[in-house]
Structure 1
């Protein structure tokens, strides 16, 4: 019987139901499922195990990190998990370290798919970029749900305040300044991929403002990928696969990839609601070929 370890973080305000949905789908497919908090990972006599029973991580066929876990122990945990054989990890800890933040994509060979983007913790310099003209989007480097995402231009009355808030005390936090993509006004496509296979997609139509986040009032509708979108997904999926990522959400607007989410992307709940089909079953099927 193949086995999977799902490592998540138990919180009252979980971002989505991925841990529960995936656990049920793996169990239905005949997998042995073990769920633990990410902080259950520990090193014992040269082996990585899980508390409280010291179940060895190298005995699992798949290990799946869902989310980033406790912030204070994040780096220690990622360094421990870097010692796991990459073929056992759905998304490796190295990939989470290198690719999770929103400024990662424009620094890769996928830069031509990305809007003009800047990352800095210097509010004055970011202001000078905005002052070059046009519309921009200002956002945290690793935010989610559309929180603290603002559309700005050189005449925005609160621009300096927004920049100071995002960069934080003593300009200690990085934030992202990205050229506004007008294609977002007609919607953004979210695509879920598992082990290089597309397992579902939908279109997010913006709500009362520029954001296409469902938590910010956007509306989800069924969508069939265009040929151009499929080409983009194939290219991004191949890039992510080569860097240890086998489950991701890819967000596309027009010819651009706005971002990809590899930590614990939402979307399965929405696809299930729109189609009546549980995409977790397709996810499990995509990974079953590995065992």
Structure 2
């Protein structure tokens, strides 16, 4: 196959932990050709096809200069066997426009994973609300008074912006209500911005588990991202410690309920965030933790992903 990865600049990859890099490495190991571009490299001229100025690369196996660039041609996206959308958040206007360009490329015959429309239809924090049986009490609102009533009811709560990533903008307010007003103002902007409020789940001390689901099937190990010191956030970007561990019965129940449904909607890869027994987020843009799980648990997550990608491409060819 000839695979195009739409991602962040190759120069900023931290290859010792980068999930997209691990996908590229496994793809090349199997003899597939690898190319990369950024969303800004996408273009669409009236009367023509969606194209991209791509970087055809070969991985060197070195740590520093980890790739060699063969050339930088312009290709219609439908010329690739698979286009893998791996641009990191934020899901801003430019990300939104990129999904529309990728969706047009699909209409022209390109095979894009995850499907652009599915990326738009599953906001990573809001998506959990479809599965109330798995979430802790949760409120999505722009009303400060509703947040205060939620706090009165539940006592210990977490507040977060809907567009946050890597643990940014997450606050905890205990029963004393200390700084609740200030935090609401910071996140809510006087009613201009929607926020999410959840009952605090004390099991965060045991880790915020990333459960990967590939092709509708759960990876048998999660990565528990454990907060350090006085921190309440387990995100690796916020200093959490990642520990691979087998899925619990509850983890598997959540994954086996949600995974088959979302893969049918075009989400080949998702990352479920689970604290204790509660689902807290469904990551669809660029789920990570492949390398950490592979290195600690010995389960080859990149191989499972490329297996699923090959199967999805072959299935589409058969349908055609």
Deviates more, 1:153-162 or 1:86-95: 86-95
Structure 2 unaligned spans of 5+: 55-72, 315-320
> Is 1:236 matched up with 2:236?
no
Of residues 257, 263, 276, the one that matches 1:254 is 276
Of residues 82, 85, 92, the one that matches 1:71 is 92
Residue in structure 1 matched with residue 63 of structure 2 by the alignment: none
Give per-residue Cα distances to partners, 1:25-45, cap 9 Å, x unaligned.
Answer: 211111111100112122132
Question: Hey, what's the Cα distance between the residues in 2 that align with 1:173 and 1:13?
Answer: 31
Question: Hey, what's the Cα distance between the residues in 2 that align with 1:7 and 1:34?
Answer: 9
Of residues 85, 88, 104, the one that matches 2:111 is 88
Question: Hey, what's the Cα distance between the residues in 1 that align with 2:253 and 2:136?
Answer: 17
Question: Hey, what's the Cα distance between the residues in 2 that align with 1:141 and 1:62?
Answer: 30
Of residues 244, 263, 267, the one that matches 1:222 is 244
Matched residue of 1:58: which SS?
A: helix
- Counting only pairs closer than 5 Å after superposition, residues 271-282 of structure 1 correspond to structure 2 as 271-275=293-297, 278-282=300-304
User: Structure 2 vs 1, CA of residues 194 and 133 (structure 1 numbering), >3 Å: closer, same or farther?
Assistant: closer
The alpha carbon displacement at 1:166 in A equals 1.2
Instruction: Tell me the TM-score normalized by structure 2.
Output: 0.80
**Does the 8 Å contact 1:9/1:70 carry over to 2?**
no
**Does the 8 Å contact 1:133/1:153 carry over to 2?**
no
Q: C-alpha root-mean-square deviation of aligned residues, in Å? A: 2.5
Deviates more, 1:192-201 or 1:171-180: 192-201
Residue in structure 2 matched with residue 176 of structure 1 by the alignment: 196
Give per-residue Cα distances to partners, 1:105-156, cap 9 Å, x unaligned.
Answer: 21x2x22111111112333432232233421111111212212212113523
Matched residue of 2:126: which SS?
A: coil
**Matched residue count:** 287
The alpha carbon displacement at 1:245 in A equals 0.7
> Is 1:268 matched up with 2:267?
no
**Does the 8 Å contact 1:43/1:80 carry over to 2?**
yes
**Does the 8 Å contact 1:100/1:263 carry over to 2?**
no
Matched residue of 1:147: which SS?
A: coil
- Counting only pairs closer than 5 Å after superposition, residues 103-114 of structure 1 correspond to structure 2 as 103-106=126-129, 108=130, 110-114=131-135
Deviates more, 1:130-139 or 1:271-280: 271-280
User: Structure 2 vs 1, CA of residues 135 and 14 (structure 1 numbering), >3 Å: closer, same or farther?
Assistant: farther
Matched residue of 1:24: which SS?
A: helix
The alpha carbon displacement at 1:231 in A equals 2.0
Structure 1 unaligned spans of 5+: none
Matched residue of 1:130: which SS?
A: helix
Deviates more, 1:25-34 or 1:44-53: 44-53
User: Structure 2 vs 1, CA of residues 177 and 69 (structure 1 numbering), >3 Å: closer, same or farther?
Assistant: closer
Matched residue of 1:244: which SS?
A: coil
The alpha carbon displacement at 1:69 in A equals 6.9
Question: Hey, what's the Cα distance between the residues in 2 that align with 1:101 and 1:279?
Answer: 22
Instruction: Tell me the TM-score normalized by structure 1.
Output: 0.87
- Counting only pairs closer than 5 Å after superposition, residues 56-205 of structure 1 correspond to structure 2 as 56-66=76-86, 67-68=88-89, 71-85=92-106, 88-106=111-129, 108=130, 110-168=131-189, 170-199=190-219, 200-205=221-226
Deviates more, 1:248-257 or 1:180-189: 180-189
Question: Hey, what's the Cα distance between the residues in 2 that align with 1:98 and 1:143?
Answer: 17
**Does the 8 Å contact 1:194/1:283 carry over to 2?**
yes
